[in-house]
């Protein structure tokens, strides 16, 4: 089963500006468990790539925040999640049928609770 996690950067990742609660180690662990990981942020694509370099991780995608639909089209998966700290993150997730966690929820690594063999995407309820 393929599950995609899209990380906003500013206010979400610890390398963001302002820093968020999702650490590089959490992202690394998500990758190691088998999630498809990438970023979707207002930061320029080139800056996002640099941040992944700094984390010493290879993302499956980097994307502008309004292009979550493209992320879905280009990355086949069984379930899609985005996480961020702003209304625009929530709306982007909602418009593209991604599950959504606020940044403080994401810092609890809710994806680690998933059964990777039998998972239904949690709908947006916030």
3-state helix, strand, coil in the chain (%, to 5): 40, 20, 40
Determine, following the binding rule CB under 8 A, whether residue 46 of this chain makes contact with other proteins. yes
CB atoms within 10 A of CB 35: 22
Could you say whether residue 97 binds other proteins (CB under 8 A)? Answer: no
> 98, 78 in Cβ contact below 8 A?
no
- Classify 94 as helix, strand or coil: helix
Minimum distance of other proteins from residue 3's CB (angstroms): 25
Q: Is 91 in the site for other proteins (CB under 8 A)?
A: yes
Q: For other proteins, which residue of 1, 25, 34, 44 counts as binding (CB under 8 A)?
A: 44
Q: Which residues of this protein are in contact with other proteins, per CB under 8 A?
A: 17-18, 42, 44-47, 50, 64-67, 86-88, 91, 95
């Amino acid at each position: 089963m393929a599950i995609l996690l899209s990380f906003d950067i500013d206010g979400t990742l610890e390398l963001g500006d302002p820093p968020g609660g999702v650490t590089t180690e959490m992202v690394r662990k998500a990758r190691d468990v088998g999630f498809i990981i990438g970023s979707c942020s207002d930061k320029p694509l080139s800056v996002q790539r640099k941040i992944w370099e700094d984390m010493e991780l290879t993302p499956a995608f980097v994307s502008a925040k309004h292009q979550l639909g493209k992320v879905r089209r280009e990355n086949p998966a069984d379930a899609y999640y985005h996480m961020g700290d702003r209304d625009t993150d929530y709306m982007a997730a909602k418009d593209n049928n991604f599950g959504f966690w606020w940044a403080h929820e994401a810092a609890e690594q809710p994806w680690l609770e998933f059964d990777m063999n039998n998972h239904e995407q949690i709908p947006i309820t916030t």
